[in-house]
Structure 1
């Protein structure tokens, strides 16, 4: 269900307790005049389900798919954010989202800034030409030989895949202050380690989706 993001300070946080670290990617939402849709991923590396709710300082400018809901234990959810007015009058405007989470007797909050910029340009569009106008250019090495596929690309993909699997494994491990009858205490991880793995996993996800 698509609904506008509500503003204000109220949020169904329950019950009050120690602070709960919030793992999201990306840290900020960058919109462009030709790209009004962004995805914010909320990770739940904990052994209990977690509720969440998105608030915004400019609810009339944004629409969010599932602005509130729940995340299963050791899982994640994608929150789709759409900018409603990407006209030139809003270029450079910055707004603030607040993501409130609660679960396991603890609560947490994370601020995410959103900014609208002019049309995003890739390196091939540095001169401002639209992609549909630029004609593809093929270069052939001397002698008419076709370029051979580089084995480095496959090796790079394997490295990224292994790094992603390691990050997923770390996110599934219990925290150092969480008792576990299955996982030995010496392999428990800290919240900072999980935050770093969540960030790296988000970067790898963007690489794989290109």
Structure 2
């Protein structure tokens, strides 16, 4: 009898490979305010993931949903937005739900804790006793909003250039007050239209 090569996709029980298993933020170290979760897919099928959190307003996740191809990994950037003394020692939890393509029911899940410490020298064990976290058995996970970002100046400038190029006359057109060297070919205008389409997609995604 041929052995099964792939694990059985039992709801909520597929092993999840993610590193690290705890996110530690330090208030006095701005470089630590952004942490990275690495999700690895060792299986022979693609996986969809979704990041949930018990305190979504305190964090932003660049890609809270996505797909990991077989044998690949993806980095999930999680930024702490409320670095304040009132949140020192507070433990929050992230839940990483994994789905098979085309299915809505999670086939695996992994919980990752997150804590904010005053500084790297602080004893985390002492802060844990003063933690404001809720009972792990009675928490509500909600979707973390994707941060809104404004398009960069280069993207906007490129869009303006493409629009101007499309407004210029085409070579061969007469009765134009614009100098001949500013008349573009049809191919040049097609390229400008193509680039403008790409730039527009980038702007709409930000």
Q: TM-score scaled by structure 1?
A: 0.48
Q: TM-score scaled by structure 2?
A: 0.49
